[in-house]
Amino acid sequence: MHTYIPIQPPALQRGLPDSNYRYREFLPSKELEAYVACYWTVDVRATEHNRFLHRVIPDGCVDIIIDMRSPSFAKGAFVAGLMTGFEVIELSTSQSLFGIRFFIDSVSRFIRYPASELNGNHVFLEEIWGREAEFFVEEARAAAGISEIIERVERKLLQSLIHNKSRSNALLQTSLQHMYASQGMISIRDMAEKQSYSERNIRRTFQKELGVGPKELLDIIRFQSLLRERNKGTQSSFTDIAVKFGYYDQPHFIHHFKRYYGLAPNQVFK
C-alpha cells in the first residue's frame, strides 16, 4: 500500500453536508493501489438559486476526470495536471463527475507522457489516447452504478499497465519515495546524499519529468501530511501538529496554509 494518501477539502469539511452536493472517495483494488490514490465522484444538483463552491487543493497527483453528463463521448474526459495552487470552482449547473486520482510517480504509465506536459492544464483525454478515450467514456457511462464503473475503469487501467512497460525515471521514483516516507520533511541535500546524486541532478530531473522543482513537491507533501494528521481527530492541538511538521513560525505557517488552501486554518478547522 502507498505510504502517501492525499486529501481534498470535501473530505475535510464534513460540517457542510448538503444532499444536493455530494463528494465520495473509493479505494482502488490491490493490483492498482500502488498507482491510484483513489477514485472519486462529485454529484451536484444546482439551480439558479442553489449554487456550490467546489475547492480543489494541490495534492501531488494527476487526475483523469470523466464528465458523466457530457453530450460528447469524445470530449467526455480530460486530464487535470499537477497543481501548485488552490482552485475554487463555482458549480452553477447540475454535474456528475468521476475521477481517477493517480500518484505522480506512476501516472506516465497511463497517460503515456511526462506529467510535466500537463502542469496546470486540462487536456482532453482524446488528445492523449485518441479513439480509445471515446470508448473508455462510453463504457464507463453505460455502467449500472459506481461499483460497475470502477470495475470497468480498473479493467482498462490494468490493460494499460500490461501494454505500457515503460518505467518511471529511477532517480525521480526513489526521490519521491524518500519524500513520502519523510512526509515532506527531508531536504534536497539529504535526498541527494542518500542516492549519491547531486542536488542539481535531482532538480533537473523533477523539472523535466514533473515540471516543478523538488522543493515545491516537498511543500505539497508536507502540507497534505499535516492535513491528514489533523483529520485523524487526535487530541493534539493544531499548533502542536504544525510544529510536528516543521512549521515553527505561526505567521509563516498561516501564509503557507493560505497559499495551498485559500483559507486560514481557523476557517477550515473551526
pLDDT mean over 204-232: 94
Residue 14: its pLDDT value, please?
A: 61
Domain boundaries, the chain: 9-163, 170-264
pTM of the model: 0.93
Model confidence at 15, pLDDT cuts 50, 70, 90, reads low
Per-residue pLDDT tens for 49-85?
A: 777 889 999 999 999 999 999 999 989 999 999 999 9
- In whole angstroms, give the CA distance from residue 194 to residue 178: 9
Residue 178: its pLDDT value, please?
A: 96
**Does residue 190 have a pLDDT over 80?**
yes
Model confidence at 17, pLDDT cuts 50, 70, 90, reads low
Per-residue pLDDT tens for 127-157?
A: 999 999 999 999 999 999 999 999 999 999 9
- In whole angstroms, give the CA distance from residue 26 to residue 23: 10
- In whole angstroms, give the CA distance from residue 214 to residue 204: 9
The better pLDDT of the pair 113, 23 is held by 23
The better pLDDT of the pair 231, 64 is held by 64
CB 66 within 8 A of CB 131: no
CATH number for the domain whose boundaries are 170-264: 1.10.10.60
Model confidence at 23, pLDDT cuts 50, 70, 90, reads very high
pLDDT mean over 254-264: 94
